[in-house]
Structures are given as C-alpha cells and as structure tokens.
Amino acid sequence: MVKNGISLYICTKLFFMTLIKSISGIRGTIGGAVDENLTPIDAVKFAAAYGTWIKQQRRKDNYRVVVGRDARISGEMIQNLVMHTLVGLGIHVVDLGLSTTPTVEIAVPMEHADGGIILTASHNPKQWNALKLLNAKGEFLNGEEGEKILNIADSNAMEFSEVDDLGKITVNDAYIDLHIDEVLKLPLVNKKAIEAANFKVVVDGVNSTGGIAIPLLLERLGVEPVKLYCDPTGHFPHNPEPLKEHLGDLAKAVVKERADFGIVVDPDVDRLAFMDETGEMFGEEYTLVACADYVLSKTPGNTVSNMSSTRALRDVTEKHGGTYEASAVGEVNVVTLMKKNNVVIGGEGNGGIIYPESHYGRDALVGVALFLSLLAEKEMTVSALRASYPNYFMSKKKIQLTPGLDVDGILKTMEANYSHEKLTTIDGVKIDFADSWVHLRKSNTEPIIRIYTEAPTQEAADTLADRFIAEIKTIANL
C-alpha cells in the first residue's frame, strides 16, 4: 500500500470499482453502494477518520479545519455532511463555500487551522467528487499520514464529542479575494506592465469556481476578461479536463473576440492551460515551462516536475544555469522533491504551477499572474512565445482497468523487456530513449493505466503510445 514511503494507492475490492483512496483523500462516484462509491456514509466515515487524525496530532482545547468546494452538483451535499461530521467531533469549521483548491490551501495557515478539506474531484466528470485532505501547512498529506487515516476509517476508531463540546461552523466567503490579494503581493507579478499591455483574454471556467476567481484576478490586473462558461452551476459544458479536444468553443471565442489569448482551468482551479491568439493550444505542458522561464530569469535556481512532464522544463532550467530533477507523479511527491532541492519553481506538466514564494500547492491564479507578467515584459504574442521554446510533442492515452488485470505484473514484464534501456521505476515504469520517452503507470485518480509518451513530432509520440498499448494488451491477453 505504501511505496517508497510516499505513494499510496488502494481501490476497494477490484481496480474497476469507483471508490479510490489515495494519499490526498477519497474519490468516487456519487450514488450506488456503500464502500463501492462515494455515498453519504463514505463521506461521513472518512471525514470522521480525518477529524480523528487531526485530534491525534496534538492535545489542545480548540481544533479548526477549513472546508471549501468546487461547483459540482454534489458539492453542497458532501460539504454539509463533512462539516457536520467535524462539528460532531468537536472541531470548529471555517466554511469557505464555493472556493478553489489553492484558495483553501492558502486559507489553512492564514486561519491558523489544523488542516483543510477540499470537496472536488479535480478534472473528473460531474458524477465524481472527492475529499482532498490537507495538513496544517495547507499541503497534501504524505503516504504515512494517509495510511493512518485509512486505518482509522477501517477500524471505526472514531469517538465523537458530547453535546456541550460540539464544534461550530463559521462562514467566510472572502478568501477568493484574499487569495487574489496574496497573488498581487508577489514581487515577480508585474502589475504595472500587465496593465499597460491592455490585454483581452477569454476565460473558460467550465461552469465551476474558476469562473469566479480567474475573471476577478484579471480585472484586478487591468485585463479585460471575456467570460465563457463562468456560471458556477456545476453543469460542465464539456469534459472538464483542459485538453485540446474539449476546447473547441474556447478556440472560436478567442478568434471571434480578437483576444490576446484564452485561459482554461479545471473545476478546482489547480490546473491551467492557455490558448494562443489564433485558437491553437499553447500546450498545458508548456504552462509550467513558460512560468519557469519567467521566474528563472529573475531568480535563478533549480526546478522539479513529475516524470510524466515534458523535457522542455529541463531545457529551460539548464538554459538559466539551474538543475532539473523529476519526481514520482502526484503533487505531494513533487512538493517533497521541491523542498529537498530548494527549487524556485516546480509543478506538473498537466498545467500545475507550484511557486514556493506563494505556497506549496498547484495554483492557477499564481500561474496566470506569472504568465501575464512574462507576456507583458516580452511584448510578444502568445504564439510567438510558444515558438521560442523547445518543441516536444506528447501523447496521453489510457487503458481502462478490468477485473483480474494484474497491473503490477504487466509493469514488471515491461521493465524486464526494456532492461537494456534507461529505466526509472519509482512510479510505474519510465523508459527513456535517445529522443523520446514513455511512462506507464497506474492512475491515482481513475481506475486506468496511463500511457504517456513524448517525441520530436506528434505522429511519433502517438505511434510510440499505440505501440506500448499494443504490447500491454498482448501481455495481458486483452
């Protein structure tokens, strides 16, 4: 269950079930049977286990936990269950209501809280929701902490408070504005240059809380936002993962509005992707590359991303005289290596910017402000900026897990088959070829095997991915 002391992945019963327990919490589909989906009983059980773990950290008179959610249809129901469970444990709750993952992360230390819970399934479709769990620093739990919470839940080792000792709920809906204040205080955010550039930007908020936060940030920076799907109803107008194939409406809007570029975020606003002025994707992998280029030009240092991220970050880091290193996939793994290497910026190739000057969490608001600062100072179009970076192409594919599929056995076979190549096995199997690579791993968020490749052309990346999918199917007799 715990690999290398950090990563933890457990599915109830078989991998194809839709209740997934990981280091950052519990994720599942709404409805269905208990222990197989994210039902109200499961939400209460794991909220109680988390609250019990919070109280075990140290003895004190008052405990406080920050809770916020994205705009998912199930969000209000799950949040009420979670908050009142914590109240039953004698824990005081700061209710942020509709919020973003990075907003909750910064609110935890600002509130001097003992932890935080974000109700969001990130990029997953609307039928999913999750409890993402934070420590007192507003950072995701490590493997050891996550395992303790799962053990508490499995053993029902929760003891609730008597009536005179119940917690209270305090509503605070100011934190998105406070989050924006913190972003604008960052020394590298060049508000003056951004205002002078008179940018016009189309924002696809996928009808979640990014539709609240991103336009507010742009307005504070003197940018004209054009809102697309910014009504936080939780009815996602397209697949909420910010990939090219889901963003046809954004491409049309950018061209029609003659905007400088487009912005799209996932439902909880920790992933960020850009679209250039012609309606072409900047590439979510290059969100981190561009932001790192800007930060490294001002504050030279090292970088970290995960093993499934583009080599372009390594190239840009070395251009600025720094050192790049890759971690296992998962925000907590990236943050752990970032701290170890004392990096100035890091993140994940899925559009996740982690800027320690702000906080150790993926933050689309920070990413937007850094990207705008870079663009304003360079005085160039987004398409020209993209053309200035090393050109790599990625293919991101997956295989759905089925009952009885021996994923670990498949990965061991692939490792043996390619033992003559440069291999990394801290997270699945990554095979580095001379001009390309492939990364095979079990997902932490969905019952799938991910197959990520990168090569000098899109055709080569797709061909490489298809080749490995065929090899996996042969090994598994699929």
d(C-alpha 97, C-alpha 231), whole Å: 15
d(C-alpha 137, C-alpha 141), whole Å: 10
What's the CA angle centered on 238, arms 237 and 239, to 5 degrees?
Answer: 140
- Sign of the torsion formed by the C-alpha atoms of 27, 329, 145 and 141: negative
Catalytic residue list contains 419: no
Instruction: Name the maximum alpha-carbon separation found in the chain.
Output: 66
CA-closest candidate to residue 336, choices 68, 145, 116: 145
CA distances from 409 to 30, 143, 413, 429 (A): 31, 23, 6, 12
d(C-alpha 173, C-alpha 176), whole Å: 7
- 80 CB neighbour count, 10 Å cutoff: 16
- What is the 3 state secondary structure string of 220-264? HCCCEEEEECCCCCCCCCCCCCCCHHHCHHHHHHHHHHCCCEEEE
**Distance from the first to the final alpha carbon of the chain:** 26
CA distances from 314 to 19, 269, 356, 435 (A): 36, 25, 19, 14
Which helix (H) or strand (E) segment holds residue 326: the answer is strand 324-327
d(C-alpha 360, C-alpha 338), whole Å: 9
- Sign of the torsion formed by the C-alpha atoms of 338, 343, 349 and 355: positive
Number of H helices, E strands in the chain: 15, 22
285-298 and 312-319 are packed helices; what angle lies between their axes, rounded to 10 degrees?
A: 10
User: Are residues 451 and 382 in contact, defined by beta-carbon separation less than 8 angstroms?
Assistant: no
- 33 CB neighbour count, 10 Å cutoff: 11
Residue 464, exposed/middle/buried by CB under 10 A (0-12, 13-18, 19+)? buried
d(C-alpha 375, C-alpha 158), whole Å: 52
User: Are residues 395 and 440 in contact, defined by beta-carbon separation less than 8 angstroms?
Assistant: no
Q: Among residues 22, 24, 74, 122, which one is catalytic?
A: 122
**Residues composing the chain:** 478
- Residues marked active site are found at 122
